[in-house]
Amino acid sequence: MIDYGSLFEPEKQEQTVLPKPRRRIKVLPIILGIILLPILVLAGWFGFLYFRPQLERLSFFALPQQTPTEAAPLETEPALAQTTPTSIATLEPTASSPAATPTESAAIPDCLEWSSVTLDHLDQQICVQGEYIQQFKRGDGTFVMVFSDDPGTFQIWSYPKPFDWYTQESDAPCVVAHGWVQTSGVRPIIILGSRGTMEACP
């Protein structure tokens, strides 16, 4: 017997099963991130080392500034100035010679000798005079004028201008400074600039 049922069955269409597309992992951004991260860290570290002196200098000059209640000139202390070890060592060999006379006559009455300036003058505007023994430039660019090797003695600092800019390149070892007394932490100082100025002795 012939089976006619198969003639009326619809033909089955072959379905092609496509493979699911694989998700591609973006490798390039990961590689760039691995390469750039150490570079950014090193750049930030070297930038910190480069700007660290400037930041320390700015933090040092950002001292609290108090307005003094009295701006009257301070009294001079000539007796104390004449008994300083540095002055005696300088003038003793020629005490009887005329060479000591110009130093005494050039003294300014309204100015203190550098040896009489202490931390008690902090935040006071004064005039200071005296002969320095050396000057040098620190690693952060600050110029320092030294009057004595004794610890805690008065100094004059300047940034960024050198001392020759104030003294007009004078060779005189004596200077006169006007300014507010500040502290470096261990000694009284005057910082030339907005709070101090200096000139060679007349």
Give the tens place of pLDDT for each residue, 127-140: 999 999 999 999 99
53 and 108 together in one domain: no
With a threshold of 0.75, does the pTM exceed it? no
49 and 118 together in one domain: no
| Ranges of the chain with pLDDT below 50 | 63-105
Would residue 185 count as lying in a domain?
A: yes
Mean pLDDT computed over every residue of the chain:
74
Domain total in the chain: 2
Q: Which domain holds residue 48?
A: 24-62
128 and 82 together in one domain: yes
Q: Is the dihedral of CA 160, 164, 166, 168 positive or negative?
A: negative
Would residue 3 count as lying in a domain?
A: no
174 and 111 together in one domain: yes
191 and 108 together in one domain: yes
pLDDT of residue 80: 33
Q: What is the CA radius of gyration of the chain?
A: 39
pLDDT of residue 46: 83
Would residue 97 count as lying in a domain?
A: no
Would residue 169 count as lying in a domain?
A: yes
131 and 50 together in one domain: no
185 and 116 together in one domain: yes
* CA–CA dist 136, 155 (Å, integer): 12
C-alpha distance from residue 125 to each of 14, 28, 118 (Å): 103, 65, 13
Would residue 155 count as lying in a domain?
A: yes
pLDDT, tens digit (0-9, with 9 covering 90-100), for 72-109: 333 333 333 333 444 433 334 333 333 333 334 356 77
Which CATH number do you get for residue 182? 2.40.50.140
pLDDT of residue 192: 94
List the Cα angle 158/160/161 in 5-degree steps.
Answer: 70
185 and 120 together in one domain: yes
pLDDT of residue 116: 95
